[in-house]
Amino acid sequence: MYGLLRHLLFRLPPETAHSLALSGLDLANRTGLLSALVPKVKPLPVEVMGLKFPNPVGLAAGLDKNADHADALGALGFGFVEVGTVTPLPQPGNPRPRLFRLPEHQAIINRMGFNNEGLEHLIAQVDGMRYPGVLGINVGKNKLTPAEEANSDYRKGIAAVYSRANYITVNVSSPNTPGLRDLQFGDSLKGLLAAIKEEQRIQHEKHGKYVPIAVKIAPDMDEEGIRFVANELRQAEMDGVIATNTTIARDAVAGHRLAGEAGGLSGAPVRGPSLRVIEGLYAELGDRLPIIGVGGITDGASAAEKIRAGAKLVQIYTGFIYRGPELISEAVEAIRTLK
């Protein structure tokens, strides 16, 4: 059924199809049709970052930037749902077209640019949702915020969502906000991690609960960069790391008519680069800091290999676009065989 639906949706412009698909999911969920159509995912409980997940397969940030559809997405059987990236103030993102499909490669290129309705809107949506599962909220900085003030934007995001999130993700790896990826390196990363932990301590005392914070990194790092990031995350006592975001490399899609489009490449081409980063992180961190693996998961095998490489959880996004809800169960069952 999803194959037919995808065929119809892929005849539409990507952003139009995205909005239509999510609106359809909402309608199916409200009418009870969704639960009748989507097979139940068998439990595979896991505890990570002090949180209990019904299964280790989650939805990556980016699909539901404003938390408008978390109830319907959560009903598909994900072990957790991550919404965002949200910035302190609303912003329109980059000009259209900014989303491109590469079906031959099971890939997508996007240069959305953190388009979202801002913290106030997202908080209102979260406060009204019925989704009972593990909710992650991904925070970023506004495009017009100077790099030297980036820490302030992240602190605003953490403070605003702290009481509502089960965990928070700090996104420093999108290629679509100028200068953002520079925050992954050197003194910029050290300063950001210190600011994150300080804000976490403040909110912990204010709300009387500890909400873990993970940092999402890019796949475009060399071995030295991976070691540096791992060491800084460990020293800062971060709660987790998400590896990885989209790639700016185009080797895997060279020659494709859309390969020259600016933005981050996701889907099957990121499978190898993401796995390399996970393996590098695990070599440095072991089990001292949990890794959430994301990038290029298009079937059960690609989900299981990330767990074998050292990830404790995985997330899907582009693979979900191409495969539909069956990918969730397939990934869970593949991971179950490793237990």
Beta-carbon contacts of 262 under 8 Å, excluding residues fewer than 6 positions away, are 111
Say how far apart CA 274 and CA 245 lie, in whole Å. 8
At a CB cut-off of 8 Å and minimum separation 6, what does 298 contact? 106, 267, 268, 271, 318, 319, 322, 323, 327
Residue 285 near residue 291 (C-beta atoms within 8 A): yes
Which of 174, 266, 274, 329 does the annotation list as catalytic?
174
Spatial distance between the Cα atoms of 112 and 34, rounded to a whole number of angstroms? 29
Q: How far apart are CA 222 and CA 338, in angstroms?
A: 29
Which tokens belong to 295? 């990038």
> Which DSSP letter does residue 12 get?
S
| Of 326, 275, 274, residue with least CA distance to 300 | 326
Query: Contact at 8 Å (CB) between 267 and 106?
Result: yes
**Which residues lie closer than 8 Å to 30 by C-beta, 6 or more apart?**
none
What is the C-alpha to C-alpha distance for residues 142 and 52, in angstroms, rounded to an integer? 32
174 is catalytic: yes
Helix (H) or strand (E) holding 304: helix 300-308
**Catalytic site residues?**
174
